[in-house]
Amino acid sequence: MKKTLVKSLAMTFVGSLLVAGTAMAIPTLDFGVIAPSTGSISYSGGNAPLVGSGISVDEVVGLDTVINNGIIFKVLNGLLNFSTGALTGTWEWGGSPNSSISVVGTVDLNNNGLVDGTDITGTLLQGNFGVAEVDHLSGVFHIAGAAFTDYKNPDLLDLYGLPTTDSNGNQMQYSGNFNLSFAAVFVADGAAFTSTRINSGDITNTPVPEPATMLLLGTGLVGLAGARRRNKAAKKV
């Protein structure tokens, strides 16, 4: 009986790992913010949003992409701007239709350091926030993290062989996250602050999974949970 339960757990766990492995292989775009960076990040207190303005974006790379996997392209005049939804907790913010995030600039395809006709220029991503938060670690060091959804420049997607439309023929939505480290004088958690010293960070994006993929992942996790429950019940017998 015990061996059967262990085998069931093992098989379910391996199955969930296979599903997770597939998820981990999802192609990702990673925009890099390299210190020293221009711009600012601020919170004015009360119900105000977290705002990032003119933060320089220096490069973009594709990870596990069909085309140009691991190839880094410089971004000329790249800027990240964002404004979250309203405050929901101590240095925590939500999303709203009025929230926004965008990256504009030029992907330097021929690596000549000039904006010319062969490059990808304009809005590279644009979307709305889900959640955001700021954490103070020590001294003046802080980290801002966020989750959002956005749409990409189709030429940029083609560069890395990423999907431009979903299975219904609609423009492909992408799931994004960012982490930005910055320095600011610490007063107290939840206090207003302004920082013009952005250290570094990443803005990452992956295609939003199709419902069938999410169902497969959910089935694997439910199966693992069921095996755990059966194992606990067997121990009580």
- pLDDT surpassing 80 at residue 220: no
Q: Per residue in 113-154, pLDDT tens? A: 999 999 999 999 999 999 999 999 999 999 999 999 999 999
DSSP labels, the chain: -HHHHHHHHHHHHHHHHHHHHHHHTS-EEEEEE-SSB--EEEE-STTPPEEEEEEEEEEEEEES-SSSBT-EEEEEEEEEEEE---EEETTEEE--TT-EEEEEEEE-TT-SSS--TTSEEEEEEEEEEEEEEEEEEETTEEEEEEEEEEEE-HHHHHHTT--SB-TTSSBPPEEEEEEEEEE-----TT--EEE-EEEEEEEEEEEPPPHHHHHHHHHHHHHHHHHHHHHHHHHH-
Average pLDDT score over residue span 45-68: 98
- pLDDT surpassing 50 at residue 231: no
Q: Per residue in 12-51, pLDDT tens? A: 333 444 444 444 578 999 999 999 999 999 999 999 999 9
User: Residue 68: what pLDDT?
Assistant: 98
Average pLDDT score over residue span 177-190: 96
pTM for the model stands at 0.79
The rounded percent of the chain whose pLDDT value lies above 90 is 76
The rounded percent of the chain whose pLDDT value lies above 70 is 78
User: Residue 199: what pLDDT?
Assistant: 95
User: Residue 55: what pLDDT?
Assistant: 99
Report residue 4's pLDDT band, with 50, 70 and 90 as the boundaries. very low
